[in-house]
Amino acid sequence: MAATPMTTLIDLVNAEAGRLADYLRGMKTESWSQDSACQGWKIGDVVAHLSIAASTWAGSLTRAAAGDSEPTQGQSYLGAGVRGSEIIADAATAHFQEKGSQLLSEFTQGYEELQQIMSSLKPEDWDKPCFHRRGKMPLHQFVALRVQELAVHGWDIRAGLDSSAAISEEALPQMVTMVPRWLRTAFVPALDLPTPARFHFDVTGASKVAEDVLVNGQDYEVQPAGTVRADATFRCDTSNYILLIFGRIGVEAGVSSGRLEIEGSQERASEFTSWFKGF
């Protein structure tokens, strides 16, 4: 059967989950309690979060395919400007403490069940609305978010043990397509910082990016790279671009580790991570 956008995306979710499960099987027992690269989270907390999500995602997909995109009991939409990170962190920590050594088998089983549900989806399901706490979205976008979660949190886990870790190569093209949505979610308007501020991105590697992000204070726009001088230019590969955009590396740490090169003012470059706040 020929690959379609639907089957390709589902295959990517399955591949990311499988790669992470293999990595977790090879970890030492004590590594589960070490700090991850997600600030304030142990590695076990991150795995617990991903494991919980496999179950909730499966339920949401099943209901969406059946025509139900409303929140179930215990679910609700986030208010404007609410990030919800603390609630998720508390739930993940509690789940890790409860499951302990059983967490790996739960993670594996959860993603096997999610795989079965995704494989049952039909082309006509792909654009059906699906519940998400930040608002209803097409089912295909909901599936794509699982790639984002597995790729970024998979890096959080690996980077807690290996400072040279990168986002998996296979996930990078999909992750780049998700940057516009993330910027909309992460933008913090009306900061007491100089505007307009133009940030240029020169990204090489698996998925090249050449564009400017122009912040006007209350809003921003993404423009094709042009001749207008930027306040700061970021040069990096695709993996480090994703890590910067998704709030996993700051400018100072990125430069000192060699992950980022900055042309222009490093101080102005650091303002980007204030305007677009990772969580």
Residue 278 confidence (pLDDT):
77
Contact between residue 278 and residue 182 where contact means Cβ atoms under 8 Å apart: no
Distance of CA 257 to the CA centre of its chain: 21
In a domain? residue 270: yes
**Signed CA dihedral, 88, 90, 96, 98: sign only:** negative
Using the predicted structure, report yes or no on whether residue 22 has a pLDDT greater than 80.
yes
Q: What percent of the chain has pLDDT above 90?
A: 87
Residue 84 confidence (pLDDT):
62
Using the predicted structure, report yes or no on whether residue 79 has a pLDDT greater than 80.
no
Same domain, yes or no, for 215 and 269? Answer: yes
Same domain, yes or no, for 142 and 26? Answer: yes
Using the predicted structure, report yes or no on whether residue 82 has a pLDDT greater than 70.
no
Instruction: Enter the pTM of the model.
Output: 0.94
In this predicted structure, which of 86-100, 184-198, 237-251 has the lowest mean pLDDT? 86-100
Averaged pLDDT for residues 215-225: 96
In a domain? residue 173: no
Same domain, yes or no, for 198 and 270? Answer: yes
Residue 226 confidence (pLDDT):
86
Cα 18 from Cα 151, distance rounded (Å): 11
Cα 35 from Cα 229, distance rounded (Å): 40
In a domain? residue 96: yes
More confident residue, 88 or 143: 143
Same domain, yes or no, for 132 and 249? Answer: no
Q: What is the DSSP letter of 167?
A: -
| Domains in the chain, number | 2
In a domain? residue 14: yes
Residue 76 confidence (pLDDT):
79
Contact between residue 260 and residue 237 where contact means Cβ atoms under 8 Å apart: no
Q: Which residues touch 44 (CB under 8 Å, ≥6 apart)?
A: 32, 33, 96, 103
Same domain, yes or no, for 129 and 234? Answer: no
Residue 87 confidence (pLDDT):
75
Same domain, yes or no, for 103 and 20? Answer: yes
Collapsing DSSP states into helix, strand and coil, what is residue 258? coil
Per-residue CA distances from 185 to 81, 153, 201, 232 (Å): 9, 18, 19, 22
Same domain, yes or no, for 267 and 206? Answer: yes
Collapsing DSSP states into helix, strand and coil, what is residue 30? helix
Residue 70 confidence (pLDDT):
93
Q: How confident is the model at residue 3 (pLDDT cuts 50, 70, 90)?
A: confident
Using the predicted structure, report yes or no on whether residue 78 has a pLDDT greater than 80.
no
Averaged pLDDT for residues 99-121: 96
Q: How confident is the model at residue 140 (pLDDT cuts 50, 70, 90)?
A: very high
Using the predicted structure, report yes or no on whether residue 83 has a pLDDT greater than 70.
no
Cα 47 from Cα 111, distance rounded (Å): 12
In a domain? residue 172: no
CATH code at 19?
1.20.120.450
| Cis-peptide, bond into residue 224, ω within 30° of zero | no
Domain span holding position 18: 5-165
Mean pLDDT across the chain:
94
Residue-wise pLDDT for 233-258, tens only, equals 999 999 999 999 999 999 999 999 99
